Copies of this chain bind each other. A is one copy, B any other.
Amino acid sequence: MTPHARTVLIVSDHTGLTAENTARALLAHFPDQPLKYLQRPFVASVTAAQGVAREVAALADRGERPLIFTTITDAAVMRELEAAPARVFDLLGPGLGVLEEEFGVKAARSVGRYHDMHDQSGYLARMDALDFALATDDGLGDRQYGLADVILVGVSRAGKTPTSLFLALQHGIRASNYPLAEDDFERESLPIPLEPYRTKLHGLTIDPRRLHAIRTQRKPNSRYASLEQCEHEVRRAERLFQRAGIPVRDTTSASVEEIAAGILAQVRRG
């Protein structure tokens, strides 16, 4: 928090996720600006907006000009924000206007339409996918490959678990996984349990030095974490992916968002 950081207020009538995502996507294009984020979710009334406007006024009194990013759609609530001494980014308003024209109907402009449970079936699918990912990730039980949308294949700590949880929570995709181990490398062909599910398989690989660093955090000075072992496993895993014709993603410098988007694009192409 730099002393001269500009304040970015994320103001939403609901969770603020959309507003914060968009604000960060915009502000990432100005990497040298020192910024300080303040989240103000659930601002759904004129009174609540007046509270935010007072905070902004206090900042302005100290010579600052804050930035407000908001997804509020209620006109009266928005007026309170627009009266505050700040630059206001109305993230949904212009789009709603265009869509009203496009569809020839008025926008609902009700609070928190998105990220609540109005899409009940979509929400339940995501929670169901999360249960699935957790239940099939414990390394014990049945991995239920038949019920999975995708099966992530890779050595231990290559990124299978975070990716499967993100696929579930964000996209409602049921991801199971197959951890590659010594037996599989000896066979040099697709592990038998995976044979029936070739089209669901996605390989994850990683730079052996990065894998070594990750495993060392978990089990320092173990054979499991040694650079030699990591190099061996990654080399054999990549050979197996190649022979079996499994699409591979390198997780070394990819975020779970990126890995998931790549897998999803492939799934949707069918």
Q: Is the CB of B28 within 8 A of A117?
A: no
Contact digits for A77-89, partner B, Cβ 8 Å, 1 yes 0 no: 0000000000101
Contacts of A95 in B (CB 8 A): 22, 26, 89, 91
A42 to B264, CA, bound (A): 12
Q: Is the CB of B109 within 8 A of A134?
A: no
Q: Is the CB of B170 within 8 A of A29?
A: no
Contacts of A113 in B (CB 8 A): 25, 28-29, 31
A264 to B12, CA, bound (A): 14
Contact digits for A229-267, partner B, Cβ 8 Å, 1 yes 0 no: 000000000000000000000000111111011101100
Q: Is the CB of B162 within 8 A of A258?
A: no
CB < 8 Å: which of B87, B170, B257 contacts A98?
B87
Is the C-beta of A1 less than 8 angstroms from some C-beta in chain B? no
The oligomer's copy count stands at 2
Residues of A in contact (CB 8 Å), total: 68
Is the C-beta of A59 less than 8 angstroms from some C-beta in chain B? no
Q: Is the CB of B41 within 8 A of A261?
A: yes
Is the C-beta of A136 less than 8 angstroms from some C-beta in chain B? no
Nearest neighbor of A105 in chain B, beta-carbon distance: B30
Is the C-beta of A4 less than 8 angstroms from some C-beta in chain B? no
Q: Is the CB of B116 within 8 A of A16?
A: no
Which 8 A-B residue pairs are closest in the complex by CB-CB distance? A28-B113, A15-B261, A29-B107, A115-B257, A25-B114, A28-B114, A18-B25, A29-B108
Q: Is the CB of B39 within 8 A of A268?
A: yes
Cβ contacts A to B, 25 pairs, < 8 Å: A14-B261, A15-B257, A15-B258, A15-B261, A22-B22, A22-B91, A22-B95, A24-B114, A25-B115, A29-B99, A29-B110, A29-B113, A30-B99, A41-B264, A42-B261, A42-B265, A67-B102, A87-B102, A89-B98, A94-B94, A115-B258, A116-B258, A127-B162, A134-B161, A165-B169
